[in-house]
Amino acid sequence: MTSLAEHKYLSFTTFRKNGEAKALPVWIVDSGDGTLGFTTGKNSWKVKRLANDSRCELQPCNARGVVTEGAAVATGTARMVEGAEYAKIDELVAQKYGFQRKLIKAMSKVGALFGSEREAANCAIVVTLD
């Protein structure tokens, strides 16, 4: 698992009700308790898909979600967390991604002033690998 958390981006795949896979690149951190995590918005599609099917897949990728050639697929289950669990993941993301995270948060705040519907990170996804 540590090797997965060492990557800057992972392709995080969730599944629609009809079984169709949907993948997105995410920042990832090792939570230190045997799980991986990342932050997202409560109303994101990945959170909605996880409410119906907790299965997920992870693979190293670039910022655009292009999977690293030859990368193995890691499978697991994921769940949305809030409160103290979210705060822990958010702090780990802040430590790992530093300035990039600050920039994204600032952009979210500016977007909100202009009516952007993009939701700022307000929950986390915790992944337990199989």
pLDDT tens digits for range 44-95: 999 999 999 999 999 999 999 999 999 999 999 999 999 999 999 999 999 9
Query: Mean pLDDT in the chain?
Result: 87
pLDDT digit string (tens) for 80-89?
999 999 999 9
Q: CA–CA separation, 61 vs 11, rounded Å?
A: 6
Strand-pair partners of 74: 58
No. of H helices and E strands in the chain?
Answer: 3, 7
Q: CA–CA separation, 25 vs 59, rounded Å?
A: 9
Q: Give the pLDDT score at 107.
A: 60
Q: Give backbone dihedrals phi and psi of 112, rounded to 5 degrees, phi first.
A: -65, -35
Q: Give the pLDDT score at 1.
A: 42
Q: CA–CA separation, 114 vs 95, rounded Å?
A: 29
pLDDT band at 101 (very low <50, low <70, confident <90, very high): low
Q: Give the pLDDT score at 117.
A: 56
Strand-pair partners of 27: 9
* Residue listed under structure tokens 């802040």: 94
99: Cα separation from own chain's centroid:
18
Going from the N-terminus, what domains does the chain have, and what CATH number goes with each? 2-129 (2.30.110.10)
pLDDT band at 114 (very low <50, low <70, confident <90, very high): low
Q: CA–CA separation, 37 vs 60, rounded Å?
A: 14
Q: Give the pLDDT score at 97.
A: 84
